[in-house]
Chain A
Amino acid sequence: MESSTADKDIGRYIARSAESYLAPDGKRLPVISLKTTASVANAQGISAKEVEIAALKQGIVPRRYLRNMGTIGLAGQIRLLQSSVAVVGAGGLGSTAIELLARQGIGHLIIIDNDRFTESDLNRQIMSTERNLDRYKVTVAARRVRKINSATTVTTFREKLSEENVPNLLGGAQVVVDGLDNLPSRLVVEQACRRLAIPYVYASIGGFSGQLMTIFPEDAGLSLLFESSSNTMSEQGIETKIGNPSATPAMIAAMQVQEVVKIITGIGTPVRNRVLLVDASEFAIDGIELRR
């Protein structure tokens, strides 16, 4: 009862603080600015995320999400803010995914990585800079998220994945994003996601190419692609030798983030039971339906 009264108070407070925004189509809609969000949060002793959710529930759009509205709407944005997404690996794929997930307005990010930035990361890992070399990727990523979106909370784990620790690291996530660079770790994460009933957005890259598949707990997943060949493939995989130009991880990570948004909002159709093969050298995108 108390919380409902408090919610109403917060709701009224937000409504009083709302401004009117003239959209490009000539319609007006109520919005709140970042500054107002911060001052309401401060005055009411709640988080920026709680203010944004309370505003959206009344049809008041935080200005920062105005360009999200046409695709996911108020309800979709609320779902994203209430969600928790884990990104396993904060390297090429992972760091771009983290950046975009924060901008999209995911409420909570779990970031797992035990590496530090090195000079060879600078060509493609979006959070690496000349000044933060030798810094842990999770530390840099958490700081970056806080700079991008004060509503997004972050939990970091500076740990190497193992079968033992992975359930603890991923517990509580609604979706897991693959930022890994080897097949054995992917198989460990996939198995944990299956046990925890969490969708897993697999992706990998090599050269100008990448591949992606969204795996729900009931889907056959990576076994559809790799069968029993995982050991030889991980040793023979040419991707680690050929490297990646700057845009390849950004291109594929952006597609992973679209998958996350679709899974959480229920909009669109995730890439399930088929592998999407993207080749930027010829600019071809192919989807192959996978069967057992």
Chain B
Amino acid sequence: MPLITVRFYSLWRSYLGTDSTTLQAERIDDALTQLEEKFGDRLREKLETAGIRLEGKMEDYSLILLNGIALRNLKSTELREGDVLHIFPPGIGG
């Protein structure tokens, strides 16, 4: 099963207290499920501490790139050894 790296950026990195993790998954949706199980609650707890309550899963309020390609239409893509998922909150404010 391919070993991939997940990199967290900006608020997600500080809220999760780490800049990366590795996991083994065949497909992107498997990887997202593992990410949600491992980090979803921790992220939402931190957000709630900051007064922000979000419904849904991490992937619903994150930008996610697979090797630099936006994920939205790639969920069923098969992963390869060494792939990198980048995950961070979308930029909105100004």
Contact = CB atoms under 8 A, between A and B. Distances in A.
Contacts of B13: 279, 282, 284
Nearest to A220: B70
Contacts of A279: 9-11, 13-14
B50 to A, nearest CB: 6
A277 B90 contact: no
B38 interface: no
A239 B89 contact: yes
Contacts of A240: 92-93
A23 B63 CA distance: 49
Given A282-B14, A286-B9, A237 B90 contact: yes
A93 B93 CA distance: 9
Nearest to A183: B92
A277 B88 contact: yes
B89 to A, nearest CB: 6
A94 B93 CA distance: 12
Interface stretch (A25-33, A55-63, A150-158, A208-216): A208-216
Interface residues of B, number: 32
B10 A277 contact: yes
A205 B93 contact: yes
Nearest to A286: B9
Interface residues of A, number: 53
Interface string B8-38: 0111011000010000000000000000000
Contact of B68 (A233, A234, A239, A289): A289
Nearest to A207: B11
A288 B64 CA distance: 11
B86 A182 contact: no
Interface stretch (A1-9, A70-78, A164-172, A222-230): A222-230
A244 B93 contact: yes
Contacts of A233: 61, 63, 90, 92
A209 B11 contact: yes
Interface of B: 7, 9-11, 13-14, 19, 47, 50-52, 54, 56, 60-61, 63, 65, 67-73, 86, 88-94
3 nearest A-B pairs in the assembled complex, by CB-CB distance: A204-B91, A237-B92, A209-B10
10 contacts: A181-B94, A204-B91, A205-B93, A206-B10, A211-B88, A236-B61, A241-B51, A242-B52, A243-B93, A282-B19
